[in-house]
Amino acid sequence: MHRKIITKSLIKKNYLHLFLGLCLTTNSYAMQDDDDPQRLKKLFQVIAKDNERVGVQHLHLTAEQGDMSSQYRLGNCYALGKGVPQSDIEAEKWYSLSAQQGLMGAQYSLGEVYNQGKGVAKNPIEAIKWFQLAADQGHAFAQFRMGIKYYEDKNYKEAIKWFRKAAGQGQVGSQAMLGSMYDAGEGVTKNSIDSIKWYRLSAEQGEPIAQYALGTKYYHGEGVSKDIAEARKWFQKAADQGNESAKIALTKL
C-alpha cells in the first residue's frame, strides 16, 4: 500500500491550512459596533466552538500522517470532548499511537487510561508500564504515580526517589508525600524541619492536604513555634477547598 511521505513542507502546508481555516471561520461572523455585550458573548462562544471543530479536523490530518504531537493533542480532544464528541475509546487510540512513538505526555495519559479503565479494561500492570516510560523521560505526574506505586508496595526508598524527582519539578502531590514521609520517618530519618519544608512548598501551591498538615504543625508547635493564628490561616485555606479535617480543626480553635 502506498504511504504518503511526511515532509516538513507537507506539515507546514497543513498548519497553514489550519491557520487559514481559523481565520475564515472567525471572519464569517460580522460584528457591528452596536452589538450588545450579551450578543457578543454568545457570538464568541459560537466562534470558539467552530474554531475547536476546525482545529480538530486539521489535527486529524497531521495525526493520521503520524505526527506524534498531533496524535497526543487529538487524544486530549477526544478525552475532553473538545471539538468532537467525547470518546474514551478514540482518546485511547490516539494516545496509544503517540505513546508508541515515545511522546512522554501521551505515555502518561495512556497510563491514566489503563489506571482508570477509560475506554479499556483496568490494567494496573499496563498502567505502570506507561507511567514508567514517561517517568524515565522526566514527566512529573508520571514520577508521582511511580512514587505512589512504590509507597503502596511499602518500598519507601524507591517511593522517596520518585517523589523527590517529581517534587523537584514542583509537583504538589509529591511535595506533600515527602512532607508526610519525613513526618513519619518512612524511608528516611524522621525530620520535622524537612517535613515542614515540603508541606509548605505544597501548601503554598494550594494543596489542601498539605495546608491542613502545615496547620497542625503550627497548632502543636512541631518543628515550628506554636502559632494559633498561623494554624488558623492554613486550616482555613484547606477548609475553603473542602478539606473536612480542616473544617473540624477550625471549630476547635
Residue 147 domain-assigned? yes
Residue 195 domain-assigned? yes
Per-residue pLDDT of the chain (253 residues; tens, 9 = 90+): 343 343 444 333 443 333 333 333 333 333 334 445 555 455 445 445 656 777 788 888 889 999 999 899 999 989 989 888 999 999 999 999 999 999 999 999 999 999 999 999 999 999 999 999 999 999 999 999 999 999 999 999 999 999 999 999 999 999 999 999 999 999 999 999 999 999 999 999 999 999 999 999 999 999 999 999 999 999 999 999 999 999 999 999 8
For residue 192, what are the contacts with CB-CB under 8 A and spacing of at least 6? 182, 183, 217, 222, 223
The predicted pLDDT at position 82 comes to 86
User: How many distinct structural domains can be found in the chain?
Assistant: 1
Q: Which residues of 107-118 are buried (b: 16+ CB within 10 A; e: fewer)?
A: bbbbbbbbbeee
Asked if 207 and 175 count as a contact pair (C-beta separation under 8 A), the reply is yes
Asked if 184 and 154 count as a contact pair (C-beta separation under 8 A), the reply is no
Residue 192 domain-assigned? yes
The predicted pLDDT at position 51 comes to 66
Residue 28 domain-assigned? no
The radius of gyration of the chain from alpha carbons, rounded to an integer in Å, stands at 24
The predicted pLDDT at position 45 comes to 57
The predicted pLDDT at position 38 comes to 57
CATH number for the domain harbouring residue 157: 1.25.40.10
Asked if 217 and 199 count as a contact pair (C-beta separation under 8 A), the reply is yes
Q: How far is Cα 206 from Cα 216, in angstroms, rounded to an integer? A: 16
Q: What is the pTM of this model?
A: 0.76
For residue 134, what are the contacts with CB-CB under 8 A and spacing of at least 6? 104, 105, 107, 108, 111, 142
The predicted pLDDT at position 55 comes to 75
Beta strands in the chain (DSSP E): none
Structural domain containing residue 236: 140-253
Residue 92 domain-assigned? no
